[in-house]
Amino acid sequence: MTAIFDAILPASVNDRLERLTDYPFTRLARLLADVTPSANVQPRVMSVGEPQHPPPAVIDETLHANRHLWGKYPPVNGTPELRAAITGWLGRRYGLPVGLIDADRDILPATGTREALFLLALAVVPRSKAGRTPAVLMPNPFYAVYEGAGLLAGADPVFLPATRETGFLPDLDALGPELLERTALVYLCSPSNPQGAAADRAYLARAIGLARRYGFVLAVDECYAEIWLDRPPVGALEVAAALPHDGHPLANLLVFHSLSKRSSAAGLRSGFVAGDPAVIATFSRVRSYSLTGMPLPVCAASAALWNDDAHVEENRALYRAKFEAAESALQGRFGYSRPDGGFFLWLDVGDGEAATRKLWAEGAIRVLPGAYLSRPVPGEPDPGAAFIRVALVQDPETVADACAALVRILD
């Protein structure tokens, strides 16, 4: 099989693929392949961030009502109704000024933000920048798609430590001009995956300012923005709206949102990108060659979800109950602190891989080693090696039971 791909793919693509580490869940399957959980214990899979709440009934209702549209090719840019629903939600959620978002120029529906986050790099990374190989910057730990996108676009991925010492977000003040001048794209995630840290206004303003000064695209992954515990995270669009600007108020900025977590609709594969219209236009052109648009019944169901906020409040309350159950069991162990958002625990267990094997063997609890979400940087410890990521996607009773077992096994 490798020989077949060698014959088909250009050498440069093969070289880039060789630099990619296997996807986290492929590595997890390999790690646990020889481990058999204890008998008579119900497995609890807490490795994947796949929402388990029942999706809103309006999905099925709207898909059925629009079933006559399955036979039509969908437009790459979605429908006017979907773009209008997204525009309305952005205005409600972030208090954006009327007219800031042009639904026809500033929004691009996407078949899930994973696809959009990946293709963005192909759209915006040039052959060279400042006469050198372009750099794509990302937090470390990070969502694996960021690394894959940067590498396959021909850039150097640069991993920025996002540890407790930096507030679980990259230290923007540590970035030197030499690196920033060749930076083509910066990925940020707020609330972050896996740590759940949300960037504040000052942080986002600093990031937007750097993007404009050095001419790179700032991609803010806000897929967990609707799952928060104490207060709603600030959004990059609302920060940009308040900043002085010489050109477009959203210049150099894109934000990414999804219905997967917000509406427990991961299988719908529905999200969107919003921001700088010049980048959106380029991105849309790339997508027109690489992917079809979102099916029209899915566009209709997505619009219905973006138009409804009540189910999101109910969803958020369910996640709060899970965190309360986890906190009661953990009692601050393993460096736990209450995150700003998301639905993950990021626990310092000393050795993430060893703890993962032990939890699966003794408790049938499947988690993800933190090292599978991070990369070692020369001269520095791997920021994920000591951690495990635990997804709080089951019901509160299961979460409480699993966390109690986790403490019993690892403490």
* pLDDT reported for residue 5: 40
Distance in angstroms (rounded) separating the CA atoms of residues 379 and 7: 38
* pLDDT reported for residue 1: 40
* pLDDT reported for residue 60: 97
* pLDDT reported for residue 290: 81
Set out the domains of the chain in order of their start, with CATH numbers: 2-54+311-410 (3.90.1150.10), 58-308 (3.40.640.10)
* pLDDT reported for residue 7: 43
Nearest to 144 by CA among 248, 48, 57: 48
pLDDT in tens, 300-343: 999 999 999 999 999 999 999 999 999 999 999 999 999 999 99
* pLDDT reported for residue 19: 75
* pLDDT reported for residue 40: 82
Query: pLDDT under 50 in the chain at which residues?
Result: 1-9
- In three-state form (DSSP H/G/I as H, E/B as E, the rest C), the secondary structure along 169-229 is CCCHHHCCHHHHHCEEEEEEECCCCCCCCCCCHHHHHHHHHHHHHHCCEEEEECCCCCCEC
* pLDDT reported for residue 3: 45
